[in-house]
Structure formats: C-alpha cells, structure tokens
Amino acid sequence: IKRDARFAQITADHVAFFRDLLGKETALIDGVTGEVTADDMEPYNGDWMRKYRGHCKLVLKPGSTQEVSKILKYCNDNMLAVVPQGGNTGLVGGSVPVFDEIVLNTSRMNKIRSFDDVSGILVADAGVVLEVADQYLAEKGYIFPLDLGAKGSCHIGGNVATNAGGLRLLRYGSLHGTVLGIEAVLPDGTIVDDLCKLRKNNTGYDLKQLFIGGEGTIGMITAVSIQCPQRSHAINVAFLAGESYEKIQQVFREAKSQLGEILSAFELMDLKSQQLVQKVRNSNSPLEGEHPFYCLIETSGSNSEHDSEKLEKFLEDVMNKEIITDGVLAQDETQLRSLWSQREGIPECLGHWGGVYKYDLSIPLADLYKLVEDVREKIDAAGLRGDSDEFPVVDVVGYGHMGDSNLHLNVAVRRYDKRVEQVLEPFVYEWIAKVSGSISAEHGLGLAKKNYIGYSKSETMVALMTQIKKLYDPNGIMNPYKYV
Ligand code: FAD
C-alpha cells in the first residue's frame, strides 16, 4: 500500500494546537518538534506480535470526551489521519499506524463513571484496563462479562471496538448483547451520546452496534455502559485429555448435557500447542504422558459443593464411557490458575521463536480441527517445518474457544518468510469459504484481513459497509488502510 496523498503531513503548527488543547506535557508524545527516540515511540508504533510497524510521530492522550471531540474535529478539518488505540494488544495490525497517522491513545481516559449494584450496570471510560474493571466489579460481587489473556493490558474501549470474544462468551454471550450503550466521537467532532443503561430499548436503529466491532473506522469510543453478571461463588476447572478430535466433540456434547447451566468455558488445545508451552516454560503437563487433544472445562455456579459434585460425576462418567483418556480437577485456586495458564499461556509461548502467523476462525464444529491437519500437511510438503534453524516453521498448532466453534490456527515461526505466507494464503481463506466459516471470529479485520473480507462477506455486504464508512467518515481519516 501507498500513503494516501490526501492526508496532510504533521507540522509544528498542528503540534502547537494539540499542545495547547491538552495542556499537560504527559498528554502527548511529540516526535515532530520534540526530541523523541524510536524507543519512546515503539510501544505505540509496534504491535503485540511484532509484525506490524507504523511510523507515527505524534501520540495524543486525551483526558476527556470533549478533548477527543476537539482533536478529531481538528484532524478532520486538516486532513490528518488518526488511529484509535487502547492497550495495543490487537492481533490483526489494526491498532498501530501504517504510515504516519496520529495515534489517539485512551490510556488517560481511565475512570469508572458509575456502577449500579442492583442492576449490575457499569459505565466506564474507554481507557479502563479490562482487569481493573473486573477487579472493581469483584469487590461488588460482579464480574465483567468478558475475559481474555490480554486482560492486564487491553482497554474496554478496545475490547468493544474489536467486539472481543474471549474465554467466557459461551456463558455470557457477545458484547453485541451485553453492551447497553456507547459514547463515541465521530470524525467531525460530533459526540454520539448513546450511553443508554437500559436492557430494552426499541426506539429506532441500534446505531451503537456499528461501533461494536467497528475497529475505530467510523469513530472513537470514549465510554461504554455494560451489563455485568453476578460473580459466581464457585468456580471449578477440569483439564481432560482425549485420543481424537471426535472424542473431544463428545466431551463437549456431554458437558452441555450434564453441566449445562453452570458451564462457563470449553477450550480446546492440541498436543503440539501444549508441547510448545511446556518447552518454553520448561514445565510439565498437568496430565501424565502425551495425548493428542486436551480440553479445559470451567463451571461457575452459586453452590460450590453442588458444582464440584456435578463435575466429579461428569468426569467419572466420561472416563467410564472411555470418551476421555485422562483428566484432573483443580483442587484449589493455585491449581485452577495453573490449569487455566496451560490454555491462556499459548499465544505468548508461541511467539518465543520469533513470530506467529495467526488465524482466528469460525468453523462448523465437525470440521474445526481438520484445517490444522491440512495446513500442517501443506507446510510439510513444502519442506518448511523442522527442528533446526534452517526451517522457518517451528510448528503448526490448533487451539481455541471450541465452545463457540472458534479455532485459533497458529503457525509458530523463527522468522516471517514469504514461502510460508504463500502456503498459507489464500489456502486458509479458501478452505474457510468452502465450509461457510468466518475468516475472523473475534479478532477483527484490521490490516491483516482487509483484503480477504470477500471470503466471508458478499459483495453486497461489503458495499453496504463501505457506504456506512463513507457516511460517518467522509474524509476517511479514521484508521485508514484497514477494514474495508
Ligand atoms: P487495541 O489493540 O489498542 O486496538 C484494537 C482495535 O480497536 C484497533 O483497530 C483500534 O484502532 C481500535 N480501538 C481501540 N480503542 C478504540 C476506541 N476507544 N475507539 C475506537 N476504536 C478503538 N481477542 C479476543 O477476542 N479473544 C481472546 O481470547 C483474545 N485473547 C488474546 C490473548 C492475548 C495474549 C493477546 C495479546 C490478545 C488477545 N486477543 C483476544 C486480542 C486483543 O486482546 C483484543 O482484540 C482486545 O479486545 C484489544 O483491546 P486493546 O485495548 O488492546 O485494543
């Protein structure tokens, strides 16, 4: 891609305007007129995977919705492109600039605005870190209806902008259902004041839905109101092993039938993913020996004794029926965390060798793991996978939120390599189109998948999206080069 020549270059005058507006020195990082090193800019220019890198020279950290409004209006009037940024943990290259777009970072907008402890409705600024919001809610006996491995860094505004799915979607549903209201700013400075706190509100088009999963392409989310469920008193976790993917599907079927109302997560991990985690951490598997597949089951309910008994009975049953080959139940909080970390640690451990090609896919359950086998076969046929440095590919692994038919196909590499890319793309996308899956289950399109949207959406749908983009952002300054 080429830099869009319609966008202005940032000048000293622009910087002076922003400096004046934001007042505080700490509210901007100025590489235009100030002395700033590449290291200062790195956290904003480089993405979590070290795969995408922008060349932004100015980072703005507004402290209020009013400031965001003034910034965006000024940028729109002066044709300055911007990238909204939260915790910068996104996995599709959406959160970093492509060229010199200004980064609009939400880290200073980090206040909880209100919480109603009867209805469970939380209203908070976009820059509140997910884990901070969840800890705040824990003290009140509530839980944030989203949980994911990056919770210590990602912002709830970023979560909503990507419509993140995470580990408990199975139980609490998508943000399209739990987010009740949004406050956002359009590129022309208009404040979209739809911070509704009602569960039911059938009064016209539900425009907030456009911002949920909009990846910062039509406006900047500044606050959200969200329905939070009661925190369960009793959390139990089981870690099970099976000899085939078919068996894990049976486990899922049984889990739904026997644990239905308390089931809160069902996660899949293949042997390769677990071997790599153990290699990087120099640790052992929670279960003895090697098993081709593992799954993690979490239950959350209100009665500890009752839930444990149910889970124990379930475990015994799937053992007796020879659906699983081994399994363990967490006996205490430490063990529970350690079992979860076998799953949550995968993304981080896979990056250990240098890089990861990541595909976040929705696939009908029956076919879900077949893709991993097909990709491994193709990588091997091309002679790209091996133990020594001469091979770019360390391994091909599959894991993910199986309870939501969501597979993470990851190819861990020692370096990013054109030959690997040629094997993977468009093969993976064509494969997905054939089974009517989605090329992006929960991570979004960003820069990574922009060109492949046609594998999951028809021309008509893409044309409608383009219309909306043009309507809300006629100058195209919001997160350009991405999405549609
Ligand atoms: P960023 O990365 O900063 O931004 C993401 C996108 O949203 C960008 O396009 C950005 O422009 C836009 N954006 C950010 N803030 C705003 C705003 N206020 N207004 C408008 N647009 C905005 N994702 C899942 O869905 N499920 C998982 O289980 C999961 N696990 C992960 C585990 C790890 C270890 C990591 C690193 C990531 C994981 N992710 C997962 C991906 C990522 O954490 C989520 O996409 C997260 O929601 C991004 O939040 P963020 O604040 O970091 O946003």
Which top CATH class is 347-443? alpha beta
Here the tokens at position 96 are 């970093």
CA distances from 431 to 192, 275, 438, 448 (A): 40, 26, 10, 17
pLDDT tens for each residue of 317-374? 999 999 999 999 999 999 999 999 999 999 999 999 999 999 999 999 999 999 999 9
Q: From ligand 1's centre to the CA of 223, what distance in Å?
A: 15
Atom of ligand 1 nearest to the CA of 482: 9
Per-domain boundaries in the chain: 112-227, 234-344, 347-443
**Average pLDDT of the chain?**
96
- pLDDT at residue 25, rounded to an integer: 87
How far CA 331 is from CA of 239, 304, 421, in Å, comes to 12, 12, 44
Burial of 13 (0-12, 13-18, 19+ CB in 10 A): exposed
User: Could you tell me the pLDDT band of residue 168, with boundaries at 50, 70 and 90?
Assistant: confident
Per CATH, domain 112-227 is 2.60.40.10: no
Task: Look at residue 38 in the predicted model and tell me its pLDDT.
Answer: 86
Give me the pLDDT at residue 251, please: 98
Rounded-to-5 percentages of helix, strand, coil across the chain: 40, 20, 40
Q: Indicate if the pLDDT at residue 171 is higher than 90.
A: yes
| Band (152; pLDDT cuts 50, 70, 90) | very high
Q: What is the mean pLDDT of residues 466-477?
A: 98
CA dihedral over 431, 420, 248, 349, signed as positive or negative:
negative
In the chain, count H helices and then E strands: 17, 16
Contact 300, 264 (CB under 8 A): yes
Substitution site in 48, 95, 481 for ligand 1 pocket (most atoms within 8 Å of beta carbon): 95
* Average pLDDT of the segment spanning 218-226: 98
Identical fold, 234-344 and 347-443: yes
Q: Compute, in angstroms, the gap from residue 360 CA to the centroid of ligand 1.
A: 13
What is the distance in A from the centroid of ligand 1 to the CA of 460? 27
User: How many Å lie between the centroid of ligand 1 and the Cα of residue 105?
Assistant: 13
Residues with CB under 6 A from ligand 1: 48, 83-91, 94-95, 106, 126, 148-150, 154-155, 157-159, 161-162, 164-167, 215-216, 220-221, 347-348, 442-443, 446, 479
Residue nearest to atom 10 of ligand 1 (CA): 95
Residue 136 has pLDDT above 90, yes or no: yes
What's the fold here for domain 234-344?
Answer: Alpha-Beta Plaits (3.30.70)
Q: What is the ipTM of this complex?
A: 0.99
Q: Which of 217, 221, 7, 26 is nearest to 101 (CA)?
A: 7
Spacing, Cα 84 to ligand 1 middle (Å): 11
Q: How confident is the model at residue 484 (pLDDT cuts 50, 70, 90)?
A: confident
Ligand 1 pocket mutation, candidates 68, 154, 176, criterion most atoms within 8 A of CB: 154
Measured from the CA of 211, which atom of ligand 1 is nearest?
Answer: 20
Nearest CA to 396 out of 356, 365, 345 is that of 356
Residue 50 pLDDT:
86
Average pLDDT over residues 218-247: 97
- If you take atom 41 of ligand 1, which residue's CA is the nearest one? 90
State the first-to-last Cα distance of the chain, in angstroms, to the nearest integer.
14
Give pLDDT, residue 284.
Answer: 94
Residue 85: φ, ψ to 5° = -140, 135
